[in-house]
Amino acid sequence: MGAELESRLAGVREGIADAASAAGRSVDELTLIVVTKFHPASLVRELHGLGVTDVGENRHPEARDKVEATADLGLTWHFIGQLQTNKAKQVARYADAVHSIDRPELVSALSSETRTIDGFVQINLTADAGRGGTSDADLEVIVERVLDAPGIVLRGVMAVAPLDADPRAAFATVRRASERVQKLAPNAQALSMGMSHDYREAILEGATHLRIGTAITGNRPV
Ligand SMILES: *Cc1c(COP(=O)(O)O)cnc(C)c1O
């Protein structure tokens, strides 16, 4: 596992550097979030040993357990999955960032007077409301809610490119949504987009936060 993990991580880092250079951007603008869902805390520990600082998880309580098991490492934890309102308060206690903010009730549940997290508003790029993410029409409404919520610093927007569409075009849509967000929140410039199979296109469209799982970890255990 060790050597393979190291070489897959190196391959992705090279791919990121390559795409950044093609886009005329610096890799310093890019945060690599390694998605470790379904993998054990020991893998997170190995990744830390290879210089990984940011980790992504999509389910509570799996995320909570891994945060506890690796608390000595000082990692930055990103919650990237669809989040039920009744679990949000717990997630807000351990996550450093939540990328899947998509409705007003979730904003209220994540908001806190005692702990601050980074927030990304997720945009749904499909016609299927069950996929998570706000509809285009509701974008400004959610953004205003986050801006009014104590304990959430709006960093930007997040999206998953639909499987059946051209990723570059999908990411261009996200970039345009981000421009709308920045009219309300000039500092919320982050773009969380790009996964194992489309991070190059995401970087070319301005991604700042890449969420990459299998290209680094190998296939997820079932
Ligand atoms: C699993 C997941 C990823 C990583 O996907 P890979 O294809 O394994 O890179 C990124 N974002 C979200 C929201 C995910 O659930």
DSSP type of residue 134: B
Residue 1: the pLDDT is: 61
% of the chain with per-residue pLDDT over 70: 100
How far is it, in rounded angstroms, from Cα 32 to Cα 164?
A: 25
Q: Which of 31, 35, 121 to mutate to test the pocket of ligand 1 (most atoms within 8 A of CB)?
A: 35
Is the CB of residue 34 less than 8 Å from the CB of residue 212? yes
Tokens of 137: 């029409």
Q: What is the pTM of this model?
A: 0.98
Ligand 1 centroid, distance to 59 Cα (angstroms): 12
Residue 195 Cβ < 6 Å to ligand 1: yes
| CATH for 114 | 3.20.20.10
Is 103 domain-assigned? Answer: yes
- Please compute the mean of the pLDDT values over residues 125-132 and round it to a whole number: 93
Task: Indicate whether 122 belongs to any domain.
Answer: yes
Atom of ligand 1 nearest to the CA of 58: 15
In terms of residue numbers, what domain contains 115? Answer: 2-217
Number of domains in the chain: 1
190: pLDDT strictly greater than 90? yes
Positive or negative CA dihedral for 98, 211, 17, 96?
positive
Say if residue 116's pLDDT is above 90.
yes
Answer yes or no: is 222 within a domain. Answer: no
Mean pLDDT of 124-135: 94
